[in-house]
Amino acid sequence: MSPNEQYIYNTYLRISRTSRGQQWRPRKDFTDFEDTKDAFYLARLSCFFSKFPQIVPDDFFAAPYEIYKDEKYFELSFFITQKAINTYAIYNKQKEEESPDNQQQLNFMVDSVGFIGKFCQENHINLIDYMDFKLGISYAFSIHYKHKKVSIYSLLYFPKFEKNVYLLEPDERMLFFNSDSPDFTKYKTRLHISSKAKDLLTIAYKRIDSYLKKQ
């Protein structure tokens, strides 16, 4: 049993228990696990997450508990089905449609700003350069958004965001933003009228910008 498979299983265990209000402890002994059916499902999930790194295991396992609230428990076998993938897509859509002042959204924004700051530091660029920085032929921000590393609101903070999105070829916009002509109007409006999110981003980015300029 690889360390990655053990991590995936314990993530599944943690989410399945905490979603039902139960305490949990990580499984440490996997000696007899390889002879169980769950070992087969776990191997499939390990390949799945490797093939699709943009899928966040925590969210993937949490999705059915959030969407199908009448169901109390989902076996590991559920998560290798097409229904699990569809459920994850629905869950992500619902999350993105939440108010930017929702605590989950605020937490994601903080994580996003931290991720962007670390990325800028590692690539020796200032915050203002992030929107124009490329990984290969693609903008880094578009890859980060696709892989769920940054929230849409953390990107809208940058004035050049929309302009750069529309510098992408239509097939790239479809790949990264699920539309060849994405409309960010509703997200901009929500951010503009927010009581917490806008100020949070301003303060967080100001701190990151100041820190990077001192490096």
**pLDDT for 97:** 83
- 129: confidence class by pLDDT, cuts 50, 70, 90: very high
Residue 199, pLDDT > 80, answer yes
Q: pLDDT tier at 86 (50, 70, 90 boundaries)? A: very high
How confident is the model over 124-132, as a mean pLDDT?
Answer: 95
Token pair for 101: 């002042």
Beta bridge mates, 125: none
Question: What is the predicted pLDDT for the residue at 167?
Answer: 93
CA 206, 207, 209: angle at the middle one, nearest 5? 65
pLDDT of 215 above 80:
no
pLDDT at 1 over 90: no
139 - beta bridge partners?
134
Residue 9 pLDDT level (bands cut at 50, 70, 90): very high
CA distances from 187 to 53, 101, 151, 169 (A): 25, 12, 11, 22
Give residues with Cβ within 8 angstroms of 184, minimum separation 6. Answer: 152, 156, 161, 162, 165
Q: What are the DSSP E strand ranges found in the chain? A: 134-135, 138-139
Residue 79: is its pLDDT beyond 80?
yes
Q: Check residue 12 and give its pLDDT.
A: 95
Q: Look up the pTM and report it.
A: 0.75
> Could you tell me the residue ranges of all domains in the chain?
3-96, 103-213
Distance between CA atoms of residues 71 and 64, nearest Å: 8
pLDDT of residue 213: 87
Calculate mean pLDDT across residues 101-129.
Answer: 95
The reported pLDDT for the residue numbered 56 is: 87
For 209, the token pair is: 């910008």
Contact indicator for 2, 12 with CB cutoff of 8 Å: no
Alpha carbon distance 14, 16 (integer Å) = 6
Least confident of 34-38, 73-77, 172-176, 183-187: 34-38
